[in-house]
Amino acid sequence: MAGLVAAGKNLMLTGFTASATYVSLHTADPSTNGGSEVTGGSYSRESSSWGSPSNGTVTNSGAIVFDVPAGTTITHLGYWSASTSGTFYGSRALDTSQTYATAGTYTIAIGNLSESVS
């Protein structure tokens, strides 16, 4: 069985990127409900913009910059429909967790956030 071709995968990602318009940071695996989201300081979910899916993969088309409060270790990021509350669509572990002894920023450069359909 061949499965989905690139056009089908791209269609799925187009739906995802139209809905998952905010990204969050988490201090542990957010599970299925978006738990362990960072709180405090100037932290907030940040809006995401996405490029057009190609060959079953899509990447962010704009940098995403978060304010991270002091004393926070981030391990995951999550996808949401809104800046507060909203629908949680899932998460991914960061390649490397980051610890902030003092307040700082975490930046996802253009093209460094990627999702794909296999």
User: What are the tens digits of pLDDT across the range 58-97?
Assistant: 999 999 999 999 999 999 999 999 999 999 999 999 999 9
Containing structural domain, residue 14: 6-116
Banded model confidence at residue 2, pLDDT cuts 50, 70, 90: confident
- Burial of 16-31, coded b for 16+ CB within 10 Å and e otherwise, reads bbeebbbbbbbbeebe
In a domain, 51, yes or no: yes
Query: Are 25 and 68 within 8 A, CB to CB?
Result: yes
Q: Is 31 left (phi over 0), alpha (psi -120 to 50) or beta?
A: left
**The two structure tokens encoding residue 116:** 């794909």
Q: How many helices (H) and strands (E) does the chain have?
A: 1, 8
**The two structure tokens encoding residue 69:** 């409060």
What percent of the chain clears pLDDT 90, i.e. is strictly above it? 97
In a domain, 89, yes or no: yes
Banded model confidence at residue 49, pLDDT cuts 50, 70, 90: very high
In a domain, 44, yes or no: yes
Banded model confidence at residue 102, pLDDT cuts 50, 70, 90: very high
In a domain, 1, yes or no: no
In a domain, 27, yes or no: yes
Q: Into how many domains does the chain fold? A: 1
SS3 59: strand
In a domain, 37, yes or no: yes
- Find the distance separating the first CA and the last CA of the chain, reported in whole Å: 14
Banded model confidence at residue 1, pLDDT cuts 50, 70, 90: low
Check residue 12 and give its pLDDT.
Answer: 97
Other Cβ atoms within 10 Å of 78 Cβ, number:
23
In a domain, 22, yes or no: yes
In a domain, 28, yes or no: yes
pTM for this one?
A: 0.94
Across all residues in the chain, what is the average pLDDT? Answer: 97
Radius of gyration of the chain (CA): 15
